[in-house]
Amino acid sequence: MNSFLSPTPYIPNRIPDPLYVRILDTTLRDGEQSAGASLNSKQKLEIARQLAKLGVDVIDAGFPASSKDDFHAVKIIAQEVGNAVADDGYVPAISAACRCTENDIRSAWEAVKYAKRPRIQTFIATSGIHMKYKLKKTKEEVIETGRRMVEFARSLGCEDVGFCAEDAARSKREFLYEIFGEVIKAGATTVIVADTVGISMPSEYGKLIAAIKANTPGIQNAIIASHCHNDLGLATANTIEGACGGARQLEVTINGIGERAGNASLEEVVMILKCGAYHVLGGLYSRINTRQIFTTSKMVEEYTGLHVQPNKALVGANAFSHESGIHQDGMLKYKGTYEIICPEDVGFERADEDGIVLGKLSGRHGLRKRLEEMGYELEDEQIDAMFWSFKALAERKKRVSDADLKALVSNGVSQTKH
């Protein structure tokens, strides 16, 4: 069953296979920054365990300097999940977020250092608007701070240091080449290109990543990461374009939760890699066990209280339901007519094998199939006789249940139950 190509040995700043894509899950950090979401340590630990089952390469476990609780949560995740080594050598790197200050970095390191693969990711804004109004620093000061703080992190003994250019999408490209070049020299193993405000267009973001890959001094000694937000609904598209441009660490969250409109969603990004990899993406792949997706999605939904919209790709309640008659007819004949992914591939369990949901748009074929599954064998005339009562009921009720069907059948249609 377990057919992943093993990404081990894990080398912080290099991935031997050029097609392998690392997945960093930031549900516990950026995801928890969603308005209205808050997780306790026990829930975070459970989610982290589930993320390890999913096989994410890096778990961004939190922001230790932000609160005592977060520090504690990151520490226990590092101690437990960060040391649970699987038979094939897999163990997720445990990462903590921190601003470019000594206190933040020290606190992050103190929390993650227990893990087998401890990592910290430090960030500072690089856009004109953020440097001027928020940081009140000059470009030179920002470069100097980034360089010194990466050096400081390495000096503590951390060998895996990510440097994130916050608001990179609105930053000057030449400035990004320069600051990334400097932090790589100082020991950064990953450079993160954040579209913090979700403003980028996919082609633009892909070109930005490619330009960073082409123009940053020393970039061959670091991994480029994407970090995209969903303010225009483009987080997933931007992330995929980023991967095409050369990003090999994709930062995502379960159900796409995160600040404001959220982050790129893990399930979408991973399944796009799986579905489009060979035709369009040149064979990019991750090691995610996609069959764990649905369980993880449900756990995050329950613990955060952030409900998944029914039409959400891959994990929404309706993602594998078919209501209209034409679609149901196709599904009953051959599932490939209307499904590009088997629900089992994402661990989705649907009550009905064919995903047939009986409603006002359903046809005779779907109705007959469900009745047969319930044990009724009816002649065409009997189906015809009850079809319009079924339609009328569906108009009123939206969804017709098995109990409703039973009532319809016993209301006048003769039956042979077996």
Kindly list the residues in this chain that would bind Mn ion in the complex (CB under 5 A): 30
Query: In the bound complex, what is the minimum distance in angstroms from residue 237's beta carbon to Mn ion?
Result: 17
Tell me if 24 sits within 8 A of 58, measured CB to CB: yes
| Residue closer to Mn ion, measured from CB, 7 or 62 | 62
| Residue closer to Mn ion, measured from CB, 134 or 398 | 134
CA-CA distances (angstroms) from residue 19 to 269, 277, 278, 290, 297? 15, 10, 11, 18, 26
Query: In the bound complex, what is the minimum distance in angstroms from residue 28's beta carbon to Mn ion?
Result: 13
Tell me if 340 sits within 8 A of 375, measured CB to CB: no
The residue whose Cβ lies closest to Mn ion is 30
Query: In the bound complex, what is the minimum distance in angstroms from residue 362's beta carbon to Mn ion?
Result: 42
What are the structure tokens assigned to 187, written together? Answer: 């020991």
Query: In the bound complex, what is the minimum distance in angstroms from residue 249's beta carbon to Mn ion?
Result: 14
Query: In the bound complex, what is the minimum distance in angstroms from residue 162's beta carbon to Mn ion?
Result: 13
| Residue closer to Mn ion, measured from CB, 30 or 167 | 30
| Residue closer to Mn ion, measured from CB, 129 or 280 | 129
| Residue closer to Mn ion, measured from CB, 30 or 241 | 30
| Residue closer to Mn ion, measured from CB, 34 or 382 | 34
| Residue closer to Mn ion, measured from CB, 253 or 362 | 253
Query: In the bound complex, what is the minimum distance in angstroms from residue 390's beta carbon to Mn ion?
Result: 49
| Residue closer to Mn ion, measured from CB, 30 or 323 | 30
Provide the β-strand partners of residue 320.
none
| Residue closer to Mn ion, measured from CB, 25 or 30 | 30
Query: In the bound complex, what is the minimum distance in angstroms from residue 300's beta carbon to Mn ion?
Result: 16
User: Among residues 335, 208, 226, which one has the least CA distance to residue 273?
Assistant: 226
Query: In the bound complex, what is the minimum distance in angstroms from residue 131's beta carbon to Mn ion?
Result: 18
Query: In the bound complex, what is the minimum distance in angstroms from residue 26's beta carbon to Mn ion?
Result: 7
Query: In the bound complex, what is the minimum distance in angstroms from residue 196's beta carbon to Mn ion?
Result: 6
| Residue closer to Mn ion, measured from CB, 33 or 41 | 33
| SS3 sequence of the chain | CCCCCCCCCCECCECCCCCECEEEECCCCCHHHCCCCCCCHHHHHHHHHHHHHHCCCEEEEECHHHCHHHHHHHHHHHHHHHHCCCCCCCCCEEEEEEECCHHHHHHHHHHHCCCCCEEEEEEEECCHHHHHHHHCCCHHHHHHHHHHHHHHHHHCCCCCEEEEEECHHHCCHHHHHHHHHHHHHHCCCEEEEEECCCCCCHHHHHHHHHHHHHHCCCHHHCEEEEEEECCCCCHHHHHHHHHHHCCCEEEEEHHHCCCCCCECEHHHHHHHHHHHCCCCCCCCECCCCHHHHHHHHHHHHHHHCCCCCCCCCCCCCCCCCECCHHHHHHHHHCHHHCCCCCHHHHCCCCCCCCCECCCCCCCHHHHHHHHHHCCECCCHHHHHHHHHHHHHHHHHHCCCCHHHHHHHHHCCCCCCEC
